[in-house]
């Protein structure tokens, strides 16, 4: 029989050492395991929790090793990480059980000698469980330890947003995300779907800000629900749901989505057009286009046409084609850490700088595809202002004949209406961090 904690360690080895995506690696291992649903839930909790709180956990472990964690065997380090996570952040697992499991795991996966090291570190931690392993005099050190983020990221948020908002961002990015679905207006109305979900024994509530959003609070996997299979709903975060409505869509329009996969915003556009118009869905990787096509077919979005496109390279055939052009550009993803916690550890400041340059190349091409009087919509799932407001400022300085038009999504404590008219959405219990800007071609 498979050991749940052993699977967790193997996933973490792949995520931290090889840059694997946690959700994909974990799903494959769980599908191929003989664990029951309770143990699968435990593995999921341990994996995501350990990734989320890695910084703090590593500071603790480092304190009890003479040579620190850098020279420690990867598997032993991850055994220590999951053990500390259980003892520090989980109430349902007794400390002695976490220690015993860790020791036995080290013995089974490595050696008796390594199991003794694990035993020593974990028992030392238990004797000093209330200690704080950070510099209490330094705000960055405190925030890094309390919310478990790398120092460069904390410094970036403080520099760009100030200490108070940065703290809200860190707190929001550590929230546990719920599943939110978008009601497909092509096939059903909100009340009908809401009632059907309850009949299917889901605990549901209305969305936080989007009128077509339903929050799934409790219930089995939504992808296995007949409402999903029949295309009445699709999974999408509420922040992403705000993009298509911001485009001021009208039936009969031609819309270009230059970075469309997996198709959430593309299909939303088709729904708001009521399948009356044209939606061209492009993506750099042809291998991703079948996913867009599958989603469009499931949802009945018949006006979607897919093709490969490198948005960084100018395409003369697209000039003045779009009434609306959407560029949901590749970004650092700092707004979706609550869903993909490994972003904390697989991104660097240098990568962010390179991304901003790529985004500018995409903007420079995309603006040429917009008809006069049409809109270019720029969106990201990051909170890095260099990829957001700074890019918009650069664009306006280097491209005449465009202006930002203000967006308004109503009042919500996590929505920042920027001076230039763009919108920043801070992460909270209900929404990912996001940025949206609507630019008119005069």
Annotated binding site for S-adenosyl-L-methionine: 259-265, 283, 328
Nearest to 236 by CA among 257, 259, 215: 215
The b-or-e profile of 400-432 (16+ CB within 10 A means b, else e) is eebebeebebeeeebbeebeebbbbbbbbebbb
* Tokens standing for residue 361: 């190349």
Place of tokens 């003045």: 320
Give CA–CA dist 374/359, Å, rounded: 20
Q: Answer yes or no: are the C-beta atoms of 149 and 134 closer than 8 Å.
A: no
Structure tokens at 419: 């001076």
Asked whether 105 and 9 are in contact (CB, 8 A), the reply is yes
3-state secondary structure of 142: helix
59 C-beta neighbours (distance < 10 Å), count: 17
* Cα separation values, 85 from 124, 132, 136, 369, 385, Å: 15, 15, 22, 50, 32
In degrees rounded to 5, what are phi and psi of residue 101? -65, -40
Binding-site residue ranges:
259-265, 283, 328
With tokens 């059903």, the residue in question is 188
381 has catalytic annotation: yes
**Crossing angle, helix 37-52 and helix 4-18, to 10 degrees?**
30
Beta bridge mates, 404: 439
Cis, peptide link before residue 262, omega less than 30° from 0: yes
CA 253, CA 18: separation in Å to the nearest integer? 44
State the catalytic residue, choosing from 144, 367, 381, 437.
381
- CA 36 from centre of chain: 27
Residue 254 has phi, psi (to 5 degrees) of: -105, 125
Q: Which two tokens stand for residue 373?
A: 């009087």
Residues belonging to the active site:
381
């Amino acid at each position: 029989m498979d050991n749940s904690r052993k699977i967790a360690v193997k996933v973490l080895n792949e995520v931290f050492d090889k840059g694997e995506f946690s959700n994909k690696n974990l799903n494959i291992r769980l599908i191929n395991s003989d664990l029951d649903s309770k143990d699968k839930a435990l593995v999921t909790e341990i994996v995501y929790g350990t990734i989320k709180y890695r910084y703090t956990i590593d500071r603790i472990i480092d304190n009890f090793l003479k040579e620190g964690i850098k020279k420690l065997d990867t598997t032993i380090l991850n055994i220590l990480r999951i053990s500390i996570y259980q003892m520090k952040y989980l109430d349902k697992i007794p400390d002695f059980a976490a220690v015993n499991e860790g020791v036995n795991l080290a013995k089974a996966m490595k050696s008796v000698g390594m199991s003794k090291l694990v035993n020593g570190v974990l028992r030392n931690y238990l004797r000093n469980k209330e200690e704080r392993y950070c510099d209490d005099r330094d705000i960055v050190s405190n925030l890094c330890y309390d919310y478990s983020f790398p120092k460069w990221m904390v410094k970036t948020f403080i520099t760009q947003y100030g200490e108070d908002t940065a703290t809200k961002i860190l707190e929001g990015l550590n929230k546990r995300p719920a599943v939110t679905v978008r009601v497909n207006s092509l096939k059903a109305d909100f009340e009908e779907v809401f009632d059907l979900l309850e009949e299917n024994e889901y605990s549901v509530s209305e969305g936080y800000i989007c009128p077509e959003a339903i929050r799934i609070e409790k219930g089995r996997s939504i992808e296995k629900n007949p409402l999903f299979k029949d295309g009445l709903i699709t999974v999408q975060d509420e922040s992403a749901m705000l993009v298509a409505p911001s485009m001021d869509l009208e039936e009969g329009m031609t819309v270009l989505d230059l970075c469309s996969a997996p198709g959430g915003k593309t299909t939303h556009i088709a729904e708001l057009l009521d399948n009356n118009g044209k939606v061209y869905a492009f993506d750099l990787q042809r291998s991703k286009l079948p996913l867009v096509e599958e989603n469009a077919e499931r949802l009945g979005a018949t006006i979607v046409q897919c093709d490969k496109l490198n948005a960084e390279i100018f395409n003369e055939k697209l000039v003045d084609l779009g009434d609306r052009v959407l560029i949901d550009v590749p970004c650092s993803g700092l707004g979706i850490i609550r869903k993909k916690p490994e972003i904390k550890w697989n991104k660097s400041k240098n990568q962010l700088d390179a991304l901003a340059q790529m985004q500018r190349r995409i903007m420079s091409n995309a603006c040429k595809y917009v008809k006069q009087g049409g809109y270019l919509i720029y969106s990201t799932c990051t909170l890095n202002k260099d990829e957001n407001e700074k890019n918009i400022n650069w664009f306006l300085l280097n491209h005449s004949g465009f202006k930002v038009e203000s967006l308004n999504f109503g009042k919500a404590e996590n929505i920042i209406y920027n001076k230039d008219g763009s919108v920043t959405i801070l992460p909270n219990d209900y929404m990912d961090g996001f940025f949206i800007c609507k630019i008119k071609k005069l």
